[in-house]
Structure 1
Amino acid sequence: MSTVSRSRLSLYLDLIRWDRPAGWLVLIWPTLSALWLAAGGFPGWHLLVVFVLGTILMRSAGCCINDVADRHFDRHVKRTAQRPITSGQVSVQEAIAVGVVLSLLALALVLTTNVVAVAWSVPALLVTVLYPFTKRFLAMPQAVLGIAFNFGIVIAFAAVQGTVPWWAWLLWLGNLFWVLAYDTEYAMVDRDDDLKIGIKTSAITLGRFDVVAIVVFYLFFLGLWRVAVAPLALGGLFEIAMAVALAQVVWHWKLIHHRTREGCFHAFRVNHWLGFTVFLGIVASYIVRH
């Protein structure tokens, strides 16, 4: 491979945040949790591969869409000023092309499931495209991000059961609160820059109630998931996992309560451990049961 080709590949990997897996890890754990719950245990290798790869591909495509939409804002934010599009190393047309290819690959994976899952993937893509533009006019665009991120739960149930039961929507709602929690932590990092350039975020809207709201969001997330799976009687291992998850909420409060950039960014980056804890509790419960 030539030096030029390696350079382009390196830029494309930077564009999709390949070296920052925290972004797709917070997506993968609730999606896999839903997959396990929908299947009543291990869902099979086919669906596991489809949803792991599909989640990574769609998160990567979302990064392309987000950076194209935010390219004029990103140059004014310390953390994002050197992103490939903003710095001029990757053109808008290139980024769109990469995003389209990744989306088509994700669609090809969903096409191997069933028509209900494919149908739900259409609004999932539309909301993903819409989200970056909501920062211009919505007080809490993180809610739209949550809707986009939560489609993995819906599509997982659709792929396994051919329908989306009521309690899956309770999981969906709970996960929306988790997205609000960790993306508000993320928004707290850039709050000063966002105020200057006029972008709307939950961190700005919540103001001095940001830390309290984040803790409440975490509690709603865990509480709604606990209520949703209560009829399944997952048992002691799941309860232990939920207790560990609650302990992590306390850890997050300690990280963010001084509102430092470093603390808030670290809190966002370790969020995937909370999702993994819940997923591990679900998997362990089914292993013991079977």
Structure 2
Amino acid sequence: MTRADTLDLSGRVADAPADNWVDRLLPAKTRPYARLARLDRPIGWWLLLWPCWWSVGLAAVAAGHVPNVWHLALFLVGAVAMRGAGCTYNDILDRNIDAHVERTRSRPIPSGQVSTDAAFLFLLAEAFVGLAVVLQFNAFTVMVAFGSLAIVALYPLAKRVTDWPQIVLGFAFSWGAFLGWSATFGSLAVAPFFLYAGSIAWTVGYDTIYAHQDRRDDAIIGVRSTARLFGENTKLAVGLCYAATVTAFAVALALAGAGVWGFLGLALFAAHLARQVTKVTTEDPASCLAAFRSNRTAGFLLFAGLVAEALF
């Protein structure tokens, strides 16, 4: 009997939704790779996608035209591919750590569903898809996109050396805040930098909530995080992160010339974040996961406001 058999005969990862489409629809041989790419947990690529789409929307507001649908489609494909590549890379590096954490020991590599060599080949395939997407944009955007690679490479190592790995994740996950703008204008301005700063603060907030699921296991094996750092003060710290997010986004919208619709979207986004902070119970993993996943809705509210602003 393999280690995978002792964990879950279905191969399902512990924190994946029980009725996810990967486990229901994909052929059995392809499921471990889909799990490695986190296709059974789409919230990750949504969180990577939102700064890209916000940037497209913000650029559309500044330019005075509707958002570029082709750019939105490219960023969607790129977010799914690069989220998968980032997770595969992370799982290769963290395979020994994941084996000792209750929530992650059922992942494809530590559970024995995928070998390290096969995972590396899969990583190359995912990276190739991401490269193909990036090359569809103008030369300046390609150059900006490649600037994120060093940050992406450093993130899995950050939790070994700092209590703030969530900031490094924010640097990587928020990079799309530059790309939508540069894809539209072929240059950067002040507004996307504020969008980037706000996205970093947002990432630190939601990933701190997420990290509370593993706080006890992380303490045992020595993995560091803002969840462990903030401890009982997590709600206050996350609230301050979200306040910084909303403030930075407000400046970005003002610089782009947004009006009522854009700020209405921001107000709804802010209200959603405030509800997260008041409702989440950091000692309850299910509550943390639900709050974390709800950021997909938060991102949609802000994006809808930007689209409405550009249209009306």
| TM-score class normalised by the smaller sequence | over 0.9
The aligned counterpart of 2:219 is: 195
Judge conservation of contact 2:191–2:256 (CA < 8 Å) in 1: no
Judge conservation of contact 1:255–1:264 (CA < 8 Å) in 2: no
Letter in 1 for 2:105: A
- Offset, 1:122: 1.8
Letter in 1 for 2:232: R
Structure 2 distance, partners of 1:98, 1:126, is 20
Judge conservation of contact 2:59–2:256 (CA < 8 Å) in 1: no
Judge conservation of contact 1:81–1:87 (CA < 8 Å) in 2: yes
- Offset, 1:33: 1.2
1:156-175 matches, cutoff 5 A: 156-175=180-199
Judge conservation of contact 1:27–1:55 (CA < 8 Å) in 2: yes
Letter in 2 for 1:12: Y
Matched residues, number: 284
- Offset, 1:212: 0.5
Letter in 2 for 1:129: A
Structure 1 distance, partners of 2:125, 2:145, is 16
The aligned counterpart of 1:154 is: 178
The aligned counterpart of 1:248 is: 272
Q: Of the candidates 287, 298, 310, which is equivalent to residue 274 of structure 1? A: 298
Q: Of the candidates 148, 151, 164, which is equivalent to residue 124 of structure 1? A: 148
Letter in 1 for 2:260: G
Query: Deviations for 1:37-59, whole angstroms, at most 9, x for unmatched residues?
Result: 22334343332221111111111
Letter in 1 for 2:201: F
- Offset, 1:31: 1.0
The aligned counterpart of 1:10 is: 31
SS at match of 2:286: helix
The aligned counterpart of 2:18 is: none
Judge conservation of contact 1:241–1:277 (CA < 8 Å) in 2: yes
The aligned counterpart of 2:90 is: 66
Q: Identify the range of structure 1 (250-259 vs 211-220) with the bigger mean alpha-carbon deviation.
A: 250-259
Please tell me whether residue 26 in structure 1 is matched to residue 47 in structure 2: yes
SS at match of 1:190: helix
Letter in 2 for 1:34: S
Structure 1 distance, partners of 2:302, 2:234, is 24
Percent of aligned pairs sharing the same letter: 35
Judge conservation of contact 1:26–1:272 (CA < 8 Å) in 2: yes
Q: Of the candidates 226, 230, 233, which is equivalent to residue 206 of structure 1? A: 230
Q: Of the candidates 152, 155, 158, which is equivalent to residue 134 of structure 1? A: 158
Q: TM-score, normalised by structure 1?
A: 0.93
Change (3 A) 1:94 1:185: same
Judge conservation of contact 1:14–1:84 (CA < 8 Å) in 2: yes
The aligned counterpart of 1:36 is: 57
Structure 2 distance, partners of 1:146, 1:30, is 11
Structure 1 distance, partners of 2:66, 2:287, is 36
The aligned counterpart of 2:4 is: none
- Offset, 1:138: 1.4
Structure 1 distance, partners of 2:102, 2:179, is 36
Structure 2 distance, partners of 1:44, 1:233, is 18
Change (3 A) 1:249 1:44: closer
Structure 1 distance, partners of 2:202, 2:236, is 14
Unaligned runs of 5+ in 1: none
Letter in 1 for 2:55: A
SS at match of 2:27: helix
- Offset, 1:235: 2.2
Letter in 2 for 1:37: L
- Offset, 1:97: 1.3
Comparing both structures, which one devotes a greater share of its residues to helix? 1
The aligned counterpart of 1:96 is: 120
**Superposed CA RMSD:** 1.6
Q: Identify the range of structure 1 (71-80 vs 116-125) with the bigger mean alpha-carbon deviation.
A: 116-125
Structure 1 distance, partners of 2:273, 2:176, is 23
Q: TM-score, normalised by structure 2?
A: 0.87
- Offset, 1:257: 4.3
The aligned counterpart of 2:105 is: 81
Query: Deviations for 1:200-230, whole angstroms, at most 9, x for unmatched residues?
Result: 1111112222110001111111111011111
Letter in 2 for 1:15: L
Letter in 2 for 1:6: P
